[in-house]
Amino acid sequence: MNIILLGAPGAGKGTQASKIAGKYKLLHISTGDIFRANIKGGTEIGKIAKSYIDAGKLVPDSVTCDIVKDRLTWDDARHGYMLDGFPRNLFQAQELDKFAHIDLCLNIDVEEALLMDRICGRRVCSCGESYHVSTLNGATTCAKCGKELYQRADDNPETVKARLDTYNTQTAPLIDYYKAQGKLAVVKSGEGSPDLVFEQICKVLGH
Ligand code: AMP
């Protein structure tokens, strides 16, 4: 099964992706993670991506589509995968349809008013875990692996505003795109805990 995780920044895609990967054994492919690894490694792709990411804009489609197209040819993607953060506009979705078969698009729907606080209070670990400062009780290390938590460079109010604008204008139209293909499933992520959201996802994916 190949699925897309759709949702605004801060909707909890990364958190749900870890849970889905664990239960359904789907490979988690996050374009954001790929870009951040490239930035850390000082690669050419990283150099191109950094200025766009810092501005809350989308990295050019040519770069992004090539990365995903290549990643899907790796052996570990043969048994099903979950795309997190791709596609992010109609062009990318149309390109994806040329080189992949997608079974389902899971949209994590969340009220915009909740997003700014969620993202700006987010602390992440390099192992993939994500927390909110309000639940950390002052802890600075990951409860899962013990590594130091950090704040993503683009999780600041100014960049988040730009990322939300980008989402609304470029990514949200994908909801209708996948609806028209009969592949859309929506789960609501209000104030509910990640576990409650995951329960809804399990209902969609089957136990
Ligand atoms: P994310 O970790 O998914 O929030 O992505 C962080 C940033 O990486 C985004 O704000 C974009 O600048 C960039 N990015 C991630 N995925 C894509 C994509 N599919 N197309 C273009 N830019 C992307």
What does 124-153 look like in DSSP terms, one character per residue? Answer: E-TTS-EEEHHHHTT--B-TTT-PBPB--T
**Cβ-Cβ contacts under 8 Å for 126 (sequence gap 6 or more):** 147
Q: DSSP assignment, residue 84? A: E
Q: DSSP assignment, residue 105? A: E
82-121 pLDDT, tens digit per residue, is 999 999 999 999 999 999 999 999 999 999 889 999 999 9
Give the mean pLDDT of 151-177. Answer: 96
Report whether 198 contacts 19 (CB < 8 A): yes
pLDDT tier, 190 (very low <50, low <70, confident <90, very high otherwise): low
Mutate to test the pocket of ligand 1, among 59, 66, 83 (most ligand atoms within 8 A of CB): 59
Distance 31 CA to ligand 1 centre (A): 6
Residue 118: active-site member = no
Residue found under tokens 């870890």: 18
**What is the number of residues in the chain?**
207
**What pLDDT does residue 189 have?**
85
Report whether 116 contacts 160 (CB < 8 A): yes
51-77 pLDDT, tens digit per residue, is 999 999 999 999 999 999 999 999 999
Catalytic: which of 36, 118, 123, 163?
Answer: 163
Catalytic: which of 57, 152, 179, 183?
Answer: 152
**Cβ-Cβ contacts under 8 Å for 76 (sequence gap 6 or more):** 27
Catalytic: which of 36, 50, 118, 122?
Answer: 122
pTM: predicted TM-score of the whole model, two decimal places: 0.92
**Ligand 1 pocket, residues with Cβ under 6 angstroms:** 9, 31-32, 35, 52-53, 56-59, 64, 85-86, 88, 92, 154, 163
127-155 pLDDT, tens digit per residue, is 888 999 999 999 999 999 999 999 999 99
Residue 152: active-site member = yes
Residue 78: active-site member = no
